[in-house]
C-alpha cells in the first residue's frame, strides 16, 4: 500500500461552516504613487551613504499586502540601502533602531531573500539578520514567523 500522510488531509474542506477565515487586517490598497515619497527618501539616503536614515525610511510604513509591482519597487529601494552600506557599521546602525523598527527590518530582509536581486547579495542580507538577532535575540525571528502583516 502507498504511504499516505493522512494528517495532511483537510477533513473540513467540504464543510463551509468549518473554514477558518482570518481577520481582515484593514490594510489600504497601496499604489506606486503612495510609496513614491519613501522610495525617494531611500534613494537619497543611498546616494548620500546615510544608512540609518535610509533604514528608518524603509521601516517606516512598508506596503504590507500590496500588489507585486508595488512591493518589488519598494523592496528594490530597500535593497539598495542595505547592500550599499558597510557591514562593519551594521551593529551601530541597528543599535539606533527601536525594537519595532528592528522587527520590520527582519521582515524586509526575509522578503528580500525571496527576490532574485536579494539572492545575489544574500551574504550581506544574512549579515544584517545576524546583527539583528545579536541585538534583540531570537524573539525578532519568532515575531517575523507569526506576524500576519507581511510584505
Partner 1 sequence: MSQPIELNLSKVPIYDHCFFPDRSRVVITNGPDAQIFDLTDSSGKPRLVTTLHHHDKTVTALDVSIDGKIVTCSQDRNAVVWSPNADGTYSRPTLVLLRINRAATCVKWSPNGKKFAVGSSARVISVCYFEEENDWWISKHIKRPLKSTILSLDWHPNNVLLACSSTDMHVRVFSAYIKGIDSKPAPSIWGERLPFKTLCLDYSLGSWVHDVKFDPTAEFLGCVTHDGCVSIVYPGAEELEVSNVIKVKTPSLPFDTLIFATPSKIIAAGYDCHPVAIEGDAETGWNISYSIDDPTKKKHNNLENQSALDMFRRMDLKGSDSSASSKLLTVHQNTINVIRPFQSDASGNVLRFSTCGNDGKVVIFEV
Among 99, 119, 120, 150, binds partner 1 (CB under 8 A): 99
DSSP, residue by residue, 46-62: HHHT-HHHHHHHHHHS-
| Sequence-separated (6 or more) residues with CB below 8 Å from residue 37 | none
Instruction: Check binding of 69 to partner 1 (CB under 8 A).
Output: no
What does the alpha-carbon distance between residue 88 and residue 93 come to, in Å, rounded to a whole number? 10
Question: Per rule CB under 8 A, is residue 143 in the interface with partner 1?
Answer: yes
Question: By CB under 8 A, is residue 142 in contact with partner 1?
Answer: yes
Terminal C-alpha separation, the chain: 42
Among 1, 23, 57, 129, binds partner 1 (CB under 8 A): 23
| 49 forms part of the interface with partner 1 (CB under 8 A) | no
CB of 45 to partner 1, least distance (A): 26
Count CA within 13 A, CB hemisphere, residue 95: 6
Residue 10 binds partner 1, judged by CB under 8 A:
no
Using a 10 angstrom Cβ sphere, with 0-12 exposed, 13-18 middle and 19 or more buried, the burial of residue 50 is middle
Among 62, 78, 103, 109, binds partner 1 (CB under 8 A): 103
Cβ closest to partner 1, residue 37 vs residue 139: 139
When binding is defined by CB under 8 A, the residue of 8, 9, 21, 88 that contacts partner 1 is: 21
Amino acid at each position: 500500500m502507498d504511504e499516505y500522510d493522512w494528517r495532511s488531509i483537510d477533513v473540513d474542506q467540504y464543510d463551509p461552516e468549518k473554514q477558518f477565515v482570518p481577520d481582515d487586517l484593514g490594510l489600504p490598497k497601496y499604489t506606486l504613487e503612495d510609496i513614491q515619497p519613501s522610495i525617494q527618501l531611500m534613494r537619497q539616503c543611498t546616494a548620500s551613504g546615510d544608512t540609518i536614515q535610509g533604514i528608518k525610511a524603509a521601516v517606516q510604513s512598508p506596503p504590507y499586502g500590496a500588489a507585486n509591482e508595488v512591493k518589488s519597487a519598494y523592496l528594490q529601494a530597500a535593497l539598495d540601502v542595505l547592500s550599499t552600506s558597510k557591514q562593519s557599521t551594521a551593529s551601530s546602525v541597528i543599535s539606533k533602531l527601536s525594537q519595532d523598527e528592528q522587527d520590520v527590518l527582519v521582515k524586509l530582509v526575509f522578503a528580500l531573500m525571496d527576490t532574485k536581486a536579494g539572492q545575489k547579495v544574500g551574504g550581506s542580507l544574512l549579515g544584517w539578520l545576524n546583527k539583528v538577532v545579536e541585538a534583540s535575540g531570537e524573539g525578532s525571528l519568532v515575531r517575523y514567523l507569526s506576524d500576519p502583516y507581511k510584505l
